[in-house]
Structure 1
Amino acid sequence: MTAVKSGLDRILAVICWILFALLVVTVVWQVFSRQVLDAPSTWSEELARYEFVWLGFFAAALVFSERGHIAVDFLVRKFSENAQRVVAIGVQVLIIVFALGALVWGGWRAAMGAWGQSLSALPTQLGVMYLVMPIAGLFITFYAVYHLQLVVRRKEEPLGYAEVDEAI
């Protein structure tokens, strides 16, 4: 499972780098065509929106790989290690439920519902933008299951890291 996680991490990182680079190029072209050429590009705004949404979802999935998502854990840190483990297990289960319910199932329904809506400036449908939700949801589910089994087997700290720098 660790080898699969490492492979997915690399794939997601490459996808995020590519999407970020494409987003920068698209936005620079959009600004250049509007300000310098005085002929605004008709397709660059929609493409930038697609790239931004896809980048956001894939980057969020990559953050889940390292358990780097936002966590307010100052109260949980005061619990015993066993109580922290129970909370960590509950959090991972909630992440799985949300990812499968909202992202995979809800995202698939949104994508299929918008599949027939064509865009004015790009030769694609609006459903393509929503398709990233179930894909990212599957990645997030995998990462949550990965971390859940590590916490249950006591191979990973319940809160994802051992110590916090108190100076922060």
Structure 2
Amino acid sequence: MEKFVHVLYDYIIEYIVRLIGVLLITTVLMQIFTRIFFKVPFSWTDELARFAFIWYCFLGSVLTMHKKMHLGIDYFESKMKPKSRFVNRIFVYSMQIFFASLLAYYGYKLLGIVGRQKSPIMRVQMKYIYSVLPISGILYLILSIHELLLHLKGEDTAQPVMMETLKGDVQI
């Protein structure tokens, strides 16, 4: 399971997020370039940038959760006793699993509603745009279950890496 999670998030998802980021930057720059030099921007760049931004945000948040870079309040957890901290982590992972399940389920249901709608300019079926909801829900679900199982085995990696990085970078 560890190898699967590593390949899925560290290689596949990270590559897709980077690719979408390049697409987003390129379309925005094309929009700016055509607006300045041609006085009439390409109509499709705005829509493509919006769709790329949606995918970038959702998949980027999954990647951020995998790398443990989401903002968190660990002050209260640091004051807990080890047993309370263990139970608190189980609660947190359970809530993540619950919300990931909701995102995947209702995201999938939404695909049935928007199945035949097309975007106004590019004429892309909106189900392809909204499919990021169940995809990211499933990715969150896999990650949360994996983290919960590691925690229950005692191999918890829940310590945020962000604070250690910031301590070395701050110079006064």
Q: In 1, Cα distance between the equivalents of 2:35 and 2:69?
A: 38
Partner AA of 1:147 in structure 2 = E
> What are the ranges of 5 or more consecutive residues in structure 1 without an aligned counterpart?
none
Partner AA of 2:96 in structure 1 = I
Partner AA of 1:41 in structure 2 = F
Structure 2 counterparts to residues 117-132 of structure 1, below 5 A: 117-132=117-132
Percent identity at matched positions? 25
Structure 2 counterparts to residues 98-109 of structure 1, below 5 A: 98-101=99-102, 103-109=103-109
Q: In 2, Cα distance between the equivalents of 1:121 and 1:163?
A: 41
Q: In 2, Cα distance between the equivalents of 1:130 and 1:163?
A: 31
Tell me the TM-score normalized by structure 1: 0.91
Structure 2 counterparts to residues 33-52 of structure 1, below 5 A: 33-52=34-53
Q: Identify, as 1 or 2, the structure richer in helix.
A: 2
> What are the ranges of 5 or more consecutive residues in structure 2 without an aligned counterpart?
none
Q: Is the 8 A contact 2:69 2:162 kept in 1?
A: no
Q: Shift of the alpha carbon at 1:66? A: 2.5
Q: Is the 8 A contact 1:111 1:129 kept in 2?
A: no
Q: In 2, Cα distance between the equivalents of 1:161 and 1:57?
A: 20
Q: Does 2:82 align with 1:68?
A: no
Structure 2 counterparts to residues 6-155 of structure 1, below 5 A: 6-9=6-9, 10-101=11-102, 103-155=103-155
Partner AA of 1:146 in structure 2 = H
Q: Shift of the alpha carbon at 1:136? A: 0.7
Q: Shift of the alpha carbon at 1:161? A: 4.4
Partner AA of 1:139 in structure 2 = L
After superposition, the Cα gap between the structure-2 partners of 1:126 and 1:85, relative to the gap in structure 1 and judged at 3 Å, is same
Q: Is the 8 A contact 1:64 1:144 kept in 2?
A: no
Partner AA of 1:2 in structure 2 = E
SS of the residue corresponding to residue 72 of structure 1 reads: coil
Q: Is the 8 A contact 2:68 2:161 kept in 1?
A: no
After superposition, the Cα gap between the structure-2 partners of 1:54 and 1:164, relative to the gap in structure 1 and judged at 3 Å, is closer
Tell me the TM-score normalized by structure 2: 0.89
Partner AA of 2:72 in structure 1 = A
SS of the residue corresponding to residue 24 of structure 2 reads: helix
Q: Shift of the alpha carbon at 1:81? A: 1.3
Q: In 1, Cα distance between the equivalents of 2:76 and 2:63?
A: 26
112-121 or 132-141: which moved more? 112-121
